[in-house]
Copies of this chain bind each other. A is one copy, B any other.
């Protein structure tokens, strides 16, 4: 199971390339497609990154909707239509499309934030604010992680 952990800050060079952190590459390496899928977050000014197989899983679940239903079309449009598939070069880098760079407010550097099955890409200073906010939310609301159901 893929598990992205920790935060890594890397540089975006003038060609728009950025190195995927090596620990994240290690999680991605069992994949048949050597690369990542990025899409816009629905909540924050950041990007979400997942493995190719994660998208296949979403695709399978969408197949359980009625074909051509409004729900299926809305979900597919907003998820698959806005995602991009980026392949890594031999050195583990991807080129970030310009519109995604703009959406996430990125310039010189990018923070890769492990979130378990996915990761996020943030403007480093935006992320610091977000991290503090999340920490306070967890403390004040006393959020906990529910007991597992054993993955039946």
A residues within 8 Å of B by Cβ?
A: 1, 3-7, 23, 37, 41-43, 55-64, 67-68, 70-71, 73-85, 113-117, 120, 130-131, 134-135, 137-139, 141, 143, 145-149, 151
Contact = CB atoms under 8 A, between A and B. Distances in A.
14 contacts: A3-B56, A5-B81, A6-B81, A60-B151, A61-B67, A74-B143, A75-B138, A75-B143, A76-B116, A77-B120, A81-B113, A81-B115, A81-B131, A81-B134
B80 A138 contact: no
A55 B5 contact: yes
| Listed residue (A4, A6, A37, A84) with the most chain B CB atoms within 10 angstroms of its CB | A6
A117 B59 contact: yes
A146 B116 contact: no
Given A43-B68, A80-B5, A83-B5, A62 B134 contact: no
A100 to B, nearest CB: 11
B6 A85 contact: yes
A145 B113 contact: no
B68 A1 contact: no
B42 A68 contact: yes
A126 B52 CA distance: 29
Contacts of A67: 58, 61
A138 B145 CA distance: 25
A77 B146 contact: no
B116 A78 contact: no
A61 B145 contact: yes
